[in-house]
Structure 1
């Protein structure tokens, strides 16, 4: 579709502000296309199409809740490495839920995980704020 000139679309009903935003993004995209000429690298193509998408929305993935996320972040606030079980106890949620939120935070680069070797067997995973 892009080779035919289709770069983006709007779903009805839409507001004038959404329409104006798409037009401005398209104008910037066209400016980049004309300035770049022929694009050779994938990262250049990705950068140009990112102009059409605009900044990433700060919405949580399906199934994650802002209040629970704040509780999980609060349990990591003191910078002590915590396991998913410890976070679950502090936040008042299940270990599985804590792990899902912690892994989201790692993917969003808001937390880091590292193995903790303390006892024989499989190391425990600890999470810290990034």
Structure 2
């Protein structure tokens, strides 16, 4: 019998980014989006109602920067539900204190924006293995079981989601400038914005395109051969 899908609540105040997260999630078998909300108030209401139903929320993808309340405070409140959903914090904050606060208030893992589909898939698949490694039911797990489950969540330097030969910081910077461009960017433009060579920018852009994070479009605006313009892949 096929196991029930992991139900996910997406909490993100920017509608386009929220839909991008939903689109990413739809590409992962075994996961389903229970709801998409844009405020802490709606997140708490949705999770609370689900907790009293037959289909509680298993996982919350929680944007820390919400307009109506602190995402850290929301994480703490969600952890008080029974059953309590697990939390993966999502933010553009690079502040280590913010990371520590999110973890101390119930976040199992952390994703820094902007991230590629490969990074998203890696965290979600690790989370699934974490759930699978714990025994079912409510009986206490052994130390070995707990250690094995927590090990599934850890991302080591040699097993990161970045493609072989790719620096995560460079991938992150290139993904960010493409995401922030409404018209998309060529490899030349990305190279100037990020401060890398054109060949390096092209290689990273091609990896992002192969991954499905960005799309390729031929730009016939100038003379000579058309250039490839890379655009952030929006939710359809």
TM-score by length of 1: 0.54
Deviations 1:39-95 (A, max 9, x none): xxxxxxxxxxxxxxxxxx762222101100111012112322211010010011111
Residue 193 of structure 2 corresponds to: 90
- Is 2:226 aligned against 1:123? yes
Q: Which has the higher contact order (CA 8 A, sep 6+)?
A: 1
The structure with more strand, counted as a fraction of residues: 2
- Is 2:170 aligned against 1:68? yes
Kindly name which structure, 1 or 2, has the bigger radius of gyration based on alpha carbons.
1
Q: CA deviation at 1:126?
A: 0.4
Structure 1: runs of 5+ lacking an equivalent = 1-20, 25-56
- Is 2:202 aligned against 1:110? no
The two structures, once aligned, show a CA RMSD in angstroms of 2.0
After the TM superposition, which residues 44-59 of structure 1 pair with which residues of structure 2 at under 5 Å, given as runs? 59=161
Residue 78 of structure 1 corresponds to: 181
CA distance in 2, matches of 1:113, 1:82: 10
Q: Residues 58, 109 of structure 1: CA spacing in aligned structure 2 closer, same or farther, 3 A cutoff?
A: farther
Moved over 2 A (4+): none
CA distance in 2, matches of 1:113, 1:58: 25
TM-score by length of 2: 0.30
The count of aligned residue pairs is 77
The structure with more helix, counted as a fraction of residues: 1
CA distance in 2, matches of 1:118, 1:89: 19
Q: Residues 85, 108 of structure 1: CA spacing in aligned structure 2 closer, same or farther, 3 A cutoff?
A: same
CA distance in 2, matches of 1:124, 1:78: 16
